[in-house]
Amino acid sequence: MSDGIIRGSDGDITYRTRPYVCGAVGEWDPETFRRLRESSPTGLQELHSGTTAVLWATGRVSTWAAGESRGFFWGDLAESAPPSSWTSVAEQRLAAGLELGRDNAVLHTDGLGLQDLYVRRHGGAVYFSVRIDPLLDIVDGGLRTDWTAWSSIAGVTAPLADTTPFLEIRRMQAATAWRAEPHRVEALTFEPGWLGCEPNGKVTPADAADIVASHVEGARRQAAITLSGGWDSRLLAILARRRRRLIAWTTSNDDGRDRDIDYAQRVARALRMKHRVFLPGADAWLDEHSAVRQRLNYQTTHHVWIMPLVRALHERQEEFLDGLAGDVLFKSLFVSQEVANAPSAEHQRRLLWNSLEQKRLQQRGLLAPGVAAAFEDRSRASLDDAVSRFAGHPAASTLGVLHTRTARAIGSSAQWLLAPEVNVRLPFVHPTVIAAALRVPLTAKIGGGFYRDMLHAANPAVAALPSTNDPVKPTGTRAQRRQANLPALTAMAQAIRGDQATLMLLAPDMRQALKDPDALALIGRSSAGLRTLQWASLLGEWRTRYASRLIDSGFDQG
């Protein structure tokens, strides 16, 4: 079978541990689907073709059968008993898939929204792919920029709800599906069982650590971990090291301080782990940013810093442990007492957006008049769309973070940079771990007390080592960041100036600064300025890449 590589100028993806998948449900048209296949990676093989559904993939896809129904699923993030329905696959395996009944088919994503499953409606069918690009050319005609998605990328670093950079392409939200029957396609939703879990005060820090451990211990004997200076990877390293040898890898996170390297070295020594530090070159951001943007479908400004390391890991055979969502579940990341105690669900969502936004759109002088305010309005509405279903739940704000920033921005590193070349295990997002975390009162988790006690229960000596979570301000001079050196800033400026619609979103002074190396360097020294340049260059690069397909001329505030 072919290796299933998406060919590109850079940022090639090899589907080694997870397949590329595409298909359609409903009254699908053979010619339209042919165009989808031809835009997909090489090595596709037919798995199913019927009147209500078609499914192709580049590699092995798991199957299940129960009664008159059967199904396919891929990308599963959790282990469970054999599935018996599409909802059990979505909830218990956290997988996307296709269920086939006697005269119907159900296309579904996972219960947490971590699986990328993009859809485009055409005629009487819904066409789908795990990547955006193959869906762009299935029909003739131009494509439009989804400015709501780009507003959220600017504000909270990722699109929200079902939005993507293209208005014509949607991303299936958590716990949703499309059911196709003769002459009909309808949207479905379901409620994962963990949403029924409420705080009861019975889950102790030691209990929580043991529950996480039970899903770490299922990892392969040959395991590795990307070890940072934070708590998530530290807890996983403690738990994994109990029963197996473990190789830890650490790199510079490009914050100008590199405390991760120092703290990870101390943890590795205490746990007697092999520890390898990978130091990128000065031009690593410049060299890797386009590849990362392509791999992540131009949907976040995060993660460029880790790409040099993951390239080195792509040929490794170990299963890699990743601490995705640990801090959200057990430290209530982005949820303060003010957010938790908001007087209404609507007010809580406003405060949650503020927390996620971190003042990215509040420096109004960096963007053209009215743009930041218009972006904020669009992004807030998109957040409401994504998380309003959790209104009234005791952990509504934590669920909101999980379904927005975690699913759409942070999770893409494990899913699309390490994987699909490498096996990645995400113990914190197992359904039983999620359920346990939701049973812990928010008041116990906010501020980190509960999580610190989890670490102490697992290994007191390692828990006491310094961490980037410690409430201590870094000291000393901040070193030059790779993303803020002049070659990187110049590349950002070129990407912005290469697209007139992007350029006109910036304030006049910002537009002038793009031509002046000294002014550009000054902007790059401020967090707000650098964030604006990163977002605008992402947009400019995306619009330039797809210029021949885009039919809109730019952002209309009206």
Encode pLDDT of 42-70 as tens digits.
999 999 999 999 999 999 999 999 999 99
Indicate whether 218 pLDDT > 80.
no
Confidence of residue 478 (pLDDT cuts 50, 70, 90): confident
Distance CA 175, CA 556 (A): 33
Indicate whether 9 pLDDT > 80.
no
Q: Are residues 307 and 342 in the same domain?
A: no
Q: Are residues 323 and 449 in the same domain?
A: yes
Cβ atoms of 14 and 422 closer than 8 Å: no
* 541 within a domain of the structure (yes/no): yes
Indicate whether 10 pLDDT > 80.
no
In the chain, the amino acid numbered 230 is: G
CA dist 67 → 85, 89, 102, 136, 234 (Å): 10, 15, 10, 37, 44
Indicate whether 1 pLDDT > 50.
no
Distance CA 15, CA 423 (A): 11
Among residues 428, 463, 498, the one where a domain terminates is: 463
Distance CA 96, CA 57 (A): 13
Mean of the per-residue pLDDT values for the chain?
A: 96
* 470 within a domain of the structure (yes/no): no
* 510 within a domain of the structure (yes/no): yes
Q: Are residues 411 and 511 in the same domain?
A: no
Q: Are residues 517 and 408 in the same domain?
A: no
Q: Are residues 30 and 70 in the same domain?
A: yes
CATH number at 70 reads 3.60.20.10
Domain with 488, as residue range(s), is 482-545
CA angle (76, 170, 13) in 5-degree steps: 50
Q: How far is CA 379 from the centre of its chain?
A: 17
Please tell me the predicted confidence (pLDDT) of residue 406. Answer: 99
Distance CA 543, CA 172 (A): 23
Please tell me the predicted confidence (pLDDT) of residue 452. Answer: 98
* 200 within a domain of the structure (yes/no): no
CA dist 493 → 55, 227, 283, 539 (Å): 42, 33, 16, 12
Please tell me the predicted confidence (pLDDT) of residue 477. Answer: 77
Cβ atoms of 425 and 320 closer than 8 Å: yes
Torsion of CA 402, 380, 416, 413, to 10 degrees: -60
Name the H helices within 61-146.
86-92
Percent of the chain residues topping a pLDDT of 90: 94
The pLDDT of 266-289, averaged and rounded, is 97
The pLDDT of 537-553, averaged and rounded, is 97
The pLDDT of 301-327, averaged and rounded, is 97
Among residues 396, 411, 437, the one where a domain terminates is: 396
Q: Are residues 390 and 404 in the same domain?
A: no
Q: Are residues 317 and 347 in the same domain?
A: no
* 196 within a domain of the structure (yes/no): no
Distance CA 319, CA 418 (A): 11
Confidence of residue 472 (pLDDT cuts 50, 70, 90): confident
Please tell me the predicted confidence (pLDDT) of residue 11. Answer: 42
* 158 within a domain of the structure (yes/no): no
Q: Are residues 324 and 445 in the same domain?
A: yes
Task: State the DSSP string of 493-547.
Answer: HHHHHT-HHHHTTB-HHHHHHTT-HHHHHHHHTSHHHHHHHHHHHHHHHHHHHTT
Q: Are residues 447 and 517 in the same domain?
A: no
Q: Based on the structure, what is the number of domains in the chain? A: 4
Q: Are residues 386 and 528 in the same domain?
A: no
Give pairs for 343-351: CB < 8 Å, separation 24+.
Answer: 345/388, 345/391, 345/392, 345/396, 348/396, 348/397, 349/380, 349/383, 349/384, 349/387, 349/388, 349/400, 350/380
Cβ atoms of 136 and 117 closer than 8 Å: no
Indicate whether 347 pLDDT > 60.
yes
The pLDDT of 101-107, averaged and rounded, is 96
Indicate whether 12 pLDDT > 90.
no
* 469 within a domain of the structure (yes/no): no
CATH number at 420 reads 3.40.50.620
Q: Is 409 left (phi over 0), alpha (psi -120 to 50) or beta?
A: alpha
Distance CA 14, CA 1 (A): 13
Indicate whether 8 pLDDT > 50.
no
The pLDDT of 131-138, averaged and rounded, is 98
Q: Are residues 271 and 370 in the same domain?
A: no
Cβ atoms of 308 and 251 closer than 8 Å: yes
Indicate whether 7 pLDDT > 60.
no
* 199 within a domain of the structure (yes/no): no
Among residues 360, 375, 396, the one where a domain terminates is: 396
Q: Are residues 459 and 513 in the same domain?
A: no
Please tell me the predicted confidence (pLDDT) of residue 220. Answer: 62
Encode pLDDT of 154-213 as tens digits.
999 999 999 999 999 999 999 999 999 999 999 999 999 999 999 999 999 999 999 999
